[in-house]
Copies of this chain bind each other. A is one copy, B any other.
């Protein structure tokens, strides 16, 4: 039996620390325990295989994770043009809109969308327009660094993940199972 919240929330996880996407995944795991249907649309990820994709398959159809990005913008081996990144971000938001308005889901996670906005790939106005269309009892989570003040004003719940200590500082790189 699905038990919906009375209020749909706009939740933002931002900041430079680890745990933003991870917290959104945890929220998805909790929500499906209540019988919710959850979709995560990944805005920057899409070129690398993350372990959460395999886990999500075990929770289908209640959880789906859809990578629609072209990889992180201007870091690592970024082979795409600005235009390709922009097109991917806009397409991801339009796809998310069809999900939100389909009446098939209770929670939508827009993973790394804040990065897409803060790096200029996705106009903030399009994201605010998206949020204007949110059904009252529908929940949206927006993750990524650099959430703009307008989005924070608009959100119901905002947590900043602050990096206090990171193993990269000791020269240890991303670890399988932990980071991806």
Contacts and interface: CB of A to CB of B under 8 A. Distances in A.
Contact of A23 (B22, B139, B180): B22
Q: How many copies does the complex hold?
A: 2
A29 B14 CA distance: 20
Interface of A: 3-7, 9, 11-15, 17-19, 21-34, 36, 50-56, 58-59, 106-107, 139, 152, 155-167, 170, 172, 175-178, 180
B158 A7 contact: no
3 closest A-B pairs (Cβ-Cβ)?
Answer: A33-B51, A25-B26, A5-B175
A7 B167 contact: yes
A177 B24 contact: no
Given A5-B178, A156-B170, A172-B156, A31 B19 contact: no
Contacts of A50: 30, 33
